[in-house]
Structure 1
Amino acid sequence: MPFSLLKYGLNKDYPFEQNADLPAPSALKSHYDVVIIGGGGHGVATAYYLAKYHGITNVAVLEKGYLGGGNTARNTAVIRSNYLTSEGVKFYSESVKLFQGLSNEFDFNIMYSRRGQLTLAHSDAAVRGFRQRTEVNKHFGGKTELIDPQQIRELVPTLNMNPADQPVLAGLWHIDGATARHDAVAWGYAKGATQRGVELHQLTEVTGVTVEQGKVTGVETNRGKVSCGCVVQAVAGMSSVVAAMAGIRMPITTYPLQAMVTQPVKPFLDPLVSSPALHCYVQQTGRGELVFGGGSDPYPLYSTRSTMDLKESLLAHAVELFPFMANMRLMRQWGGLTDMTSDYSPIMGLSPVDNYYLDAGWGTWGFKSTPICGKTMAELVATGKVPELIEPFAMSRFDTFRQVNEMGATAASH
């Protein structure tokens, strides 16, 4: 095998795709069947599935910045399905399955790495919650187990089993926990969509939405007006702002979410390790960097700045989990915007405006839902019927009091 691989790599005649880049910028057309606001993972995934599986190619993806430059570029790339509710587990389990085959589907390496996620329980109440969560996951397709302290030591020998005087009593071991390159996912979807005729317009900001007699008819941009048959909104932390242009008031509050990464070291940590009690999670990338993340900032703000307060508190908890990390150097710190709903579940599907579709409320779990979100939103646009998988996430649930409560399902509880 090594000799064959070397022979393939040195062969001047091996297959090479000449047109691997995205198409050059072009003028906006006056009309599109579908306009997608937001050129992040969700936006380009929806465009991809519309083109590939439904034959809808007169589509424009409008991005005010650059491809995947919003929350898609500002996350920690965790993929998992170990949620609390049956609705959440079924939805994210389908996303995990799609992630596993994306590299082959794109013919483009997204660097998917199945590593497992370990969530720590520091109290009897947490253990009881993990036991229930395990059974829900098993029943609805997730691969999750409850493991004891000895099994945790074997998985992560370097872990401090008594961080901050809160002994580790058990662990939620999610076998399907994984990571992937977030920018590669966005580029893979964008490449597949544009090859099929979808237009991607970067540096194109939507400044208004035209609604006539309760139905969307077009959008206004910094490059002119465009008429359309329908609009899909996929703008993450700016969901409330963009929806307001169409006269829609969203049950969403936006908070900053920060993360940071160290300089690279030799590999020692394979699983993703999180502690909801300490509001901290740690993973090591394929390049050897250690990524730290935690809960959102405790105040609403439309800003992606980073803060010293968060850095100090988050790193203090990380050092409690892995004391030897105190000697490591931090390389960079960044922030994103989380669009949080009151029940910590997304808002997907129809809106009060006809032909205006919502993809919002993702909070801290938007990246991991990218493939299944794109697939279901494309099905909704193409057929006009809400897929069964996303019916529970309709915005109308807040009027009927049928919330899908995922509070505490994050790796670091908010």
Structure 2
Amino acid sequence: MLPAFLPTGLLKYGLRKKYPAFRYIPGPSELKSHYDVVIIGGGGHALACAYYLARNHGITNVCVLERGYLAGGNTARNTAIIRSNYLTPEGVKFYEESLRLYRDLSQDLDFNILYSERGHFTLAHTDAAMRTSRWRAEVNKHLGVDSELIYPDDIAKLCPSLNMSEDVRYPILGALYHPPGSIARHDAVAWGYAARASQMGVEIHQQTGVTGLVIEGGKVKGVETTRGRIGAGQVMQAVAGMTSVVADMAGFKLPIRTIPLQACVSVPLKPFLDQIIVSGSLHVYVSQSSRGELVMGGSTDPYGLYSTRSTLDFKEGLLGHMLELLPMLGEVKILRQWAGMADMTPDFSPVMGLTPVENYYIDSGWGTWGFKATPVCGKTMAYTIANNKPHALIKPFSYERFLTYSQVGEKGAASVGH
């Protein structure tokens, strides 16, 4: 017997012999012999770059190569937090532009990314953390970003679920409050970019691994794939945790180490946590999804490893601190746990733009903050490829900064995996 609440439209759709569903992303096709731009990687950054190349610069002879499935790497393994309350002027300007793009992204792509502003709280448990929060707040306000240091009374009013007791190991002394802090559906961001890029002529090839690069006279000429060689006028890599491996194919080294970053979600609960809670001292962050799950994570693992395995040690350490902040969760069960591969730079900032190989570009070094930068990375990398010069927002993140000791130190704003 069919349930009484089954919509009539859904019933008619299910009983049809032919389904009129619109296919957002075209099915598999043959590779062409040459493309103007080849993008290695099929995650959010790569797809956003392909979209902005087509929309903003009219470059549509573009090929996106993904060795697995669409957005199946770190895009599928992050915790979907969006914010711009960073520490350095370079970082704040960059992420504020990304947040601005996110606000209108559902309308821009005509694809619901489930964008939801929650308010982002970075808790301070020590005098040092309070000083850093005050510093960040002043930098943020100077650059027009909504961010301020607040104290326990205000925290209790804005986030009544938090345990504000002083009879705990790490009492909450204050917080950096960032009202625009948001979450979005990470898969939907990638799917929306992929759908619109495909409609404008971009080709997306899944299950197509890159095995090498064709470089002649210091200039990239093509890409070797598991389906044969293809010529390329320009090539960009956006491969997250595999950054160093692909850069090695191009013949240059990066100051990056790859380490696992783990996260987990609880079983769905009734909505009670509207805010995004982060504690750098406890290495904890948590938000509640639209489905009611608590999305939780912490710091990166303390050793380099090319792996996406989960560990009991991570879960035990994370949940011990979670119960100090939200003790009512003692009986709540964990639903699933996963890991991604974070490509960490010494200064906790990305590496973007031109490389030592002519016409070869890089979007890397995203560590624990890649999802929130998806739109701005796509927009600025598309500009960089189209004009063969770095966009103003990414000049501070150039490859050369490690040679000139001009690093952009963001560790004070990115010391927790978020």
Residue identity matched to 1:374: G
Q: Deviations over 1:29-73 (max 9, x none)?
A: 000000000000000000000001100000000000011000000
- The one of 397, 401, 405 equivalent to 1:397 is 401
Secondary structure of residue in 2 paired with 1:84: coil
- Mapped contact 1:275–1:411 kept (Cα < 8 A): no
Residue identity matched to 1:123: T
- Mapped contact 1:281–1:294 kept (Cα < 8 A): yes
Return the offset for 1:201: 0.2
The 5 Å alignment of 1:263-282 reads 263-282=267-286
Is 1:60 the counterpart of 2:60 in the alignment? no
Q: In the alignment, which residue of structure 1 is the partner of 2:317?
A: 313
Distance 2:372 2:123 in 1: 21
Q: In the alignment, which residue of structure 2 is the partner of 1:4?
A: none
Secondary structure of residue in 1 paired with 2:101: helix
Q: In the alignment, which residue of structure 2 is the partner of 1:127?
A: 130
- Mapped contact 1:115–1:271 kept (Cα < 8 A): yes
**Relative to structure 2, which stretch is displaced further, 125-134 or 393-402?**
125-134
- The one of 157, 160, 164 equivalent to 1:157 is 160
- The one of 88, 91, 101 equivalent to 1:88 is 91
Is 1:359 the counterpart of 2:363 in the alignment? yes
Return the offset for 1:381: 0.7
Return the offset for 1:383: 1.1
Distance 2:126 2:158 in 1: 20
Residue identity matched to 1:58: N
Distance 1:40 1:304 in 2: 16
Residue identity matched to 2:109: F
- The one of 37, 49, 53 equivalent to 1:50 is 53
Distance 1:370 1:313 in 2: 30
The 3 A distance-change label for structure 1 pair 224 and 316 is same
- The one of 136, 139, 162 equivalent to 2:139 is 136
Distance 2:415 2:271 in 1: 22
Q: Deviations over 1:83-139 (max 9, x none)?
A: 110000000000000000010011110000000100111112211111111010111
Distance 1:164 1:201 in 2: 53
Distance 1:368 1:360 in 2: 14
Q: In the alignment, which residue of structure 1 is the partner of 2:213?
A: 209
Distance 1:413 1:282 in 2: 11
- The one of 266, 285, 289 equivalent to 2:289 is 285
Secondary structure of residue in 2 paired with 1:229: strand
- The one of 113, 117, 121 equivalent to 1:118 is 121
- Runs of at least 4 residues off by over 4 Å: none
Return the offset for 1:392: 0.1
Is 1:70 the counterpart of 2:73 in the alignment? yes
Distance 2:262 2:112 in 1: 27
Return the offset for 1:326: 1.1
Aligned-pair Cα RMSD in Å: 1.7
Secondary structure of residue in 2 paired with 1:382: helix
Return the offset for 1:411: 6.6
Q: In the alignment, which residue of structure 2 is the partner of 1:294?
A: 298
Is 1:252 the counterpart of 2:263 in the alignment? no
Is 1:22 the counterpart of 2:19 in the alignment? no
Return the offset for 1:141: 2.9
Residue identity matched to 2:305: L
Distance 2:282 2:225 in 1: 44
Distance 1:316 1:169 in 2: 19
Return the offset for 1:413: 6.7
Q: Deviations over 1:126-183 (max 9, x none)?
A: 1111111101011123211111100100111121124742211111001110000000
Q: In the alignment, which residue of structure 1 is the partner of 2:196?
A: 192
Q: Deviations over 1:359-381 (max 9, x none)?
A: 00000000000000000000011
User: What are the ranges of 5 or more consecutive residues in structure 1 without an aligned counterpart?
Assistant: 1-8
The 3 A distance-change label for structure 1 pair 69 and 118 is same
Residue identity matched to 2:176: L
Secondary structure of residue in 1 paired with 2:361: strand
Residue identity matched to 2:401: R
Return the offset for 1:20: 3.8
